[in-house]
């Protein structure tokens, strides 16, 4: 009986017809090689989605959430994170891009493209009758050789706190493929200054907790600024409080400006006017006592994690004590770090040595709107900084934040390890040639796997050429021939149509640790997928796969 004999036409709520095949949800579970090929197909499909976003000419994707929120991005990690990927094996690619993003911060699209290409090559080897485990072993061997080859072709980028030219050019390269590329000079400068402000050169480490990236819709991306301090999206609790405080001493509180209340199982009965007046006097005295604790400590600005009512607000104004309320936990911690203050949980614990210090605290207003932010500058701890992003709409601001994250990570990686390889597919082409040479020395089946690994590496320059409007096969062949003839590993795909292929002259670089991580993570994922030959869903029947 054909599928059409086992089908019925039904209509949805809108009256649109569609065909429903009976028992279509009961698919037979695949075993062995067929299962492996099914998993490879799922991962290839996901990898092909982000392939067109690779490189400086990569295209953006519009992602629409179930709530209707729109995201426009070409960041691989963001695309995969917001996609609804249901296949269990394909979800591994989402986790792969997240691993690259968490560890390195850049190269999330490239690692997914490489993993998809490796699995595509593995499928053709399976069709030739080679066992998946033998393929995985060959890929692992080729990966180790590629990582060693990357060490041999890497260059050292010199920089220091004074001469940051190379760091600036590296940040500018990472921003070339982003939506803010028209302002990449400005953004690269901000990224370098921000990282150098918080970097520890002795430990070769950068604490990203000290860099806050905030944004507000309005103005142009060119108006993005670096604030040596903290920006809080709040304003003074009373409009008549001063909007500018110099030589500020901050009381950072996590206790509310209100009298203690009865617990949930207790109640307070008021039966007369006298009792109500007594309660009112008690509340006023409590407020005054709290304000006295703050004034006695020497504070002239209160940062409070909780709110306070109108009476407390009025008393604060009367006592010339500006206050900011409803400041979130992360902002409270950052303010404490920046001002060298202590977070105080009780008014009784407040003292002058626990106050934060800042040279200037000011309110900033935007255009004709009533939106205000609080800027805390000239802090006691000069290492804490905030990048305040502007943009014409929320999508631009969000994408600018993601672009800045990549630029910050590139600069951070160069401080951790200042060895680099060259981009534009130059490193991949060089590794591909090296793996092919190594494969000639190896007898047996592993030779096939190593050649397949080399072919997979060629996918990155192919995708770059394709996305840049070049003839991909011709561009790759020309670069490979020149690398062999000139023995020059700096030659890559001319994505920006400058007229020459030397990536060293264009200063198109990738941090070595990032490129190594791409190869290692992609190979590990490929090995994992090749070793899976069955999926068993908990609670399903033995002969069915839901």
Catalytic residues: 75, 108-109, 406
Q: Which of 259, 349, 249 is closest to 308 using CA atoms?
A: 259
Torsion sign over Cα 480, 484, 485, 488: positive
**Dihedrals phi, psi of 258, to nearest 5 degrees:** -160, 155
Q: In Å, what is the CA distance from 244 to each residue of 224, 276, 362, 370, 436?
A: 22, 39, 4, 17, 67
d(CA 384, CA 339): 9
Q: Which of 421, 511, 487, 456 is closest to 174 using CA atoms?
A: 511
Q: Which residues of 358-376 are buried (b: 16+ CB within 10 A; e: fewer)?
A: beebebeeeeeeeeebbbb
Q: Is 32 left (phi over 0), alpha (psi -120 to 50) or beta?
A: left
Can you tell me whether residue 340 is helix, strand or coil?
coil
Please, what is the angle between helix 90-103 and helix 512-530, to 10°? Answer: 160
Contact, 340 vs 357, CB < 8 A?
yes
Q: What is the DSSP string of 149-166?
A: HHHHH-EEPP--SS--HH
d(CA 206, CA 195): 7
């Amino acid at each position: 009986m054909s599928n059409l004999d086992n089908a019925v036409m039904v209509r949805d709520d809108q009256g649109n017809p569609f065909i429903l095949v009976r028992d279509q949800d009961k698919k037979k579970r695949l075993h062995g090689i067929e299962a492996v090929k099914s998993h490879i197909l799922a991962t290839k499909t996901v990898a092909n989605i982000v392939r067109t976003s690779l490189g400086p000419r990569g295209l953006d994707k519009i992602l629409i959430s179930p709530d209707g929120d729109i995201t426009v991005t070409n960041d691989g990690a963001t695309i995969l994170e917001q996609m609804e990927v249901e296949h269990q094996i394909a979800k591994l690619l989402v986790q792969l891009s997240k691993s690259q993003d968490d560890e390195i911060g850049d190269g999330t699209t490239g690692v997914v493209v490489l993993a998809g290409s490796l699995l595509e090559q593995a499928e053709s080897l399976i069709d030739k009758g080679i066992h998946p485990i033998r393929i995985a072993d060959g890929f692992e061997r080729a990966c180790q050789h590629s990582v060693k080859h990357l060490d041999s072709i890497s260059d050292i980028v010199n920089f220091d706190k004074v001469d940051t030219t190379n760091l600036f050019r590296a940040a500018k390269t990472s921003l070339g493929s982003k939506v803010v590329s028209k302002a990449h000079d400005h953004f690269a400068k901000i990224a370098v200054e921000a990282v150098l402000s918080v970097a520890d050169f002795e430990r070769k480490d950068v604490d990203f907790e000290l860099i806050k990236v905030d944004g507000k819709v309005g103005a142009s991306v060119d108006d993005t600024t670096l604030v040596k301090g903290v920006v809080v999206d709040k304003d003074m609790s009373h409009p008549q409080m001063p909007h500018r405080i110099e030589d500020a001493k901050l009381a950072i509180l996590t206790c509310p400006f209100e009298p203690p209340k009865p617990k949930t199982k207790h109640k307070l009965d008021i039966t007369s006017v006298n009792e109500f007046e007594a309660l009112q006097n008690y509340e006023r005295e409590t407020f005054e006592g709290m304000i006295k604790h703050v004034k006695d400590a020497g504070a002239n600005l209160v940062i409070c994690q909780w709110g306070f009512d109108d009476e407390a607000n009025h008393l604060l104004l009367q006592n010339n004590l500006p206050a900011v309320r409803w400041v979130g936990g992360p902002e409270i911690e950052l303010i404490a770090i920046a001002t060298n203050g202590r977070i105080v949980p009780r008014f009784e614990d407040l003292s002058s040595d626990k106050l934060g210090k800042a040279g200037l605290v000011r309110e900033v207003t935007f255009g004709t709107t009533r939106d205000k932010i609080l800027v805390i500058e000239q802090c006691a701890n000069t290492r804490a900084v905030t990048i305040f992003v502007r943009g014409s709409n929320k999508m631009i601001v969000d994408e600018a934040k993601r672009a800045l994250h990549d630029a910050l990570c590139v600069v951070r990686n160069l401080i951790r390890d200042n060895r680099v390889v060259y981009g534009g597919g130059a490193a991949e082409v060089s590794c591909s040639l090296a793996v092919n040479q190594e494969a000639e020395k190896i007898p047996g089946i592993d030779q096939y796997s190593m050649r397949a690994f080399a072919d997979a590496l060629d996918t990155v320059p192919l995708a770059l050429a394709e996305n840049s409007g070049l003839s991909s096969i011709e561009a790759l062949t020309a670069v490979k021939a020149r690398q062999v003839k000139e023995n020059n590993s700096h030659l890559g795909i001319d994505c920006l149509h400058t007229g020459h292929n030397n990536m060293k002259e264009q200063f198109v670089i990738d941090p070595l640790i990032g490129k190594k991580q791409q190869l290692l993570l992609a190979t590990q994922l490929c090995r994992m997928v090749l070793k899976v030959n069955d999926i068993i869903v908990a609670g399903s029947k033995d002969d069915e796969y839901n």
